[in-house]
Structures are given as C-alpha cells and as structure tokens.
Structure 1
Amino acid sequence: MVGTDDTRLVFLRGNSASGKSSVAAGIRDRFGRGLALVGQDNLRRIVLRERDRPGAANIGLIDLTARYALDAGYHVVVEGILYSDHYGDMLAELRAAHRGPTHAYYLHVPFQQTLARHATKPTASEVSEPQLREWYRELDLLPGGTETVIGAGSTLEETVDRIMLDTGLTDLPALDRCPLHR
C-alpha cells in the first residue's frame, strides 16, 4: 500500500496539446505546496531521454516517483499522454495500491483542434502533422470506466475548478514545508 487515507492521487491523461500540463500546473498553483507533479514528458524525455514504447524505463520511474511522493505525504498529479496499452497496467496497480482517493481524467480534444493548439506551442516546428496524426489516439481510455472525460469545450479554469472540487483538494490545506519534516 502507498500514501495515506488523506493523500489524493490524480491521473490526467489525453493526447498531445490537450491541455494536460496546463491543467496540472493550474491545480498545483491553486493548491500550493504539498502537491507533486509527476510529468511523463519530464521523466521520459528530459530525465531518461527515452522514446515512448511498451516496457520502457520511464513507466517504472513514473510509478516509483508517484509512490515516493505519496508516501512522503504529498498529493500527486500524474500527467501525460500515458497511452493505455503502455501505461495502463502501471496506473491500475498504482490506483489499487493507493490508500486515499484516486481520480482519473481524460482530456478529449478532437484531432483538428489538437493541430491548432499544437501550432501555438514553442516546440511546434519540431513535430510535424503526420507525427501528430501517428501519435493521436481517439479516446484512449483506461479499461474499467475509471476516467472522467473532459471535453475541449471546458476552459482551463473550469477544468481546474472541476478537478479541485471532485478530488476534495479545495478543502485541504497546502503545506508550508515538506510533509516528512513537520
């Protein structure tokens, strides 16, 4: 088992340019200290410089990082594309092991809107439309109906509000320092 009855675990998944990182940052900004962001892009692309494939090392690193933060008393948001066939087993095991409430969200943005959003990113020139089309998976939901789908019509603020309310983070205090060193 991992975390406590009071820690919150949030999965935030969706295709490229669906707003996952912005929503995760908005949740952390709104909550304050005591909420860890476990970003797939950071661990996979920056820390390991690894391609996204089944069985890749970043899958275990995401799991270990989330578990460590939960055991340290942090609430955790795991965010990324996190394809269900690559990451589904790990996410299911993490959900099952977490003592506290776990909430999962899938940000659904149609492909044409994904293209438009991607064009506004600083890295837009690094990824072509054919690459985006190859990566795009329509409603790549986890098995078991565990995810709440949030459509493209939900604004950033509305999405952050909803997740804060659903998870109970609005009612919990931020931490002034690391939970292990109270």
Structure 2
Amino acid sequence: MTELVPGAVGIEDTRLIVVRGNSALGKSSVAAGLREQFGRNLAIVGQDNLRRTVLRERDRPGSANIGLIDLTSRYALDNGFHVVVEGILYADRYGTMLQDLVRAHRGVSRCYYLHVPYTETLLRYGAKPDAEYLKQVTEHDLRDWYREKDLLPDAMETVISAASTLDDTIRQIRRESGLDSVLAVDR
C-alpha cells in the first residue's frame, strides 16, 4: 500500500516521462512514438498544444500554461494514465513545476533532455516536411529560442545526444522508465 503523501499524484504503477529540449529536435515525435508502441492509456501533455492552441499565450515566465501542464499531468496520473510531458520547457520557467511534479508522483518518473548542437538543430529544422511549421518558425526564431544544455537542477535528467536515432531514443525511454514492462489498458 502506498503511503498517502499530501499532494501525491498517480499510483505506483503509473509512469511519468518528461522529454525536453530545444525546438525542432523531435520531442513530439518521441512522445508520439512512445504512444504508438505502448498503446492506449498513455497521455501526451504537449507544451505547444496547451500553450499555443488551448491558451494561445506567449511563453513567458509565470504564464498560465505552466499551471495547466501541471494540472493536466496530475489529473491524468490520478486517473491511472501514464504521462509524457513534452516541450521546450525552459528550466528557469518550468523547472520548479517539473521538479514538484516528479517529487509528487508515486510511480516511476524519468526526465530526458534531447541535446542537439545549434548547427545540427538548423539541419533538422531545414529537413522538416511540415510546411506550416516552416512558415511559422524561422531560423531567426530558432536562434532566439536556443539554449545550450538548459538542464534541470540536481542532475534529474538523462541527456540524449544527437547521435541517438528516434527509434533508439524511444527504446531507451521505454526501457529506463519501465514502460516496456507494463500493460496498456484499453480504455
């Protein structure tokens, strides 16, 4: 039996996975791949979706999306979903919320930072097949947004290098989080 801790979320069997990094690196693709390989009962809490689509707000310190990401993640975990939180999620803006969420989670939590040097980021950006994204995000935007190894404190993240393929990254996260050893629930 899990000891009840005030503010604790999820159950011992739930997995919380955080995937962070600069723009255009494949964070959303990693989250989608995890869901595709796992099946149902895995919630993707995407920063871009909540911030840009749901709230239509800019990414600034103290923005409402920070609380919405936290609330959405906690709700999904409390309802037995595994959760992947993904986004740029700058450490100085989102770090406290992410640390609190990880501490409060009763199950397994793993955080990952996709590290790709700026020159490689530009190459990946240029190779994106998403024409709408390329219209909205410019190379100038990428330069403004880029932060070299914007890691969370206390070494709470595993850094995944640019050499890791999408499949390798998904496989590593599934293995290290234990997501590869729990069954999907058909909801």
Please tell me whether residue 18 in structure 1 is matched to residue 25 in structure 2: yes
Pairing 1:10-159 to 2, within 5 Å after superposition: 10-121=17-128, 122=130, 123-159=133-169
Percentage of pairs with the same residue: 64
Paired residue type of 2:108: P
Paired residue type of 1:136: Y
Post-superposition CA distance 1:42-89 (Å, at most 9, x none):
000100011001000000000000000000000000000000000000
Post-superposition CA distance 1:125-160 (Å, at most 9, x none):
222222211100000000000000000110000000
**Runs of 4+ displaced beyond 3 Å:** none
Aligned residue-pair number: 177
**Following TM superposition, by how much is the alpha carbon of 1:120 offset from its aligned partner in structure 2, in angstroms?**
2.9
Paired residue type of 1:118: Y
Where do 5+ consecutive residues of structure 1 fail to align? 178-182
Where do 5+ consecutive residues of structure 2 fail to align? 1-7
Counterpart selection for 2:186 from 172, 176, 179: 176
Normalising by structure 1, we get a TM-score of 0.95
Paired residue type of 1:28: R
**Following TM superposition, by how much is the alpha carbon of 1:19 offset from its aligned partner in structure 2, in angstroms?**
1.0
Normalising by structure 2, we get a TM-score of 0.93
Paired residue type of 2:163: G
Quote the Cα distance in structure 2 between the aligned partners of 1:176 and 1:126: 36
